Amino acid sequence: MDLVYTSLHHRPGAARAPATEAAEALDILWAHTTPEDGLEHASARTEPGRLDLLLFLLPPGGPGSPDATGRAAALVAHSYRNSPVLKLRYLPPGPAPSVSGR
């Protein structure tokens, strides 16, 4: 199992999110997950100015499959694009960081 940490940053001046912010974000993430994403478990925690996500993903399906970081970034970006709630609360997610040494 692969573990990926990522964050969504709150929009400046956006209304303060409710106490259920983390649970709502996880519900949205699960609603946009497909079997190809390989998401097995996810957790979220709010911090000042951001929402932290911890995504547990199955290993890639085969040769040429995106790595866990790429799949996690694609899942978060897809969820963001399709969720008015995420768009209202957070800045767009950035590109996946490059992994050196591969």
pLDDT of residue 100: 42
Burial of 101 (0-12, 13-18, 19+ CB in 10 A): exposed
- pLDDT interval class at 60 (50, 70, 90): confident
Beta bridge partners of 53: 6, 44
Give the separation between CA 54 and CA 65, rounded to whole angstroms.
Answer: 21
What pLDDT, in 10s, does the model give residues 18-45?
789 999 999 999 999 998 888 999 999 9
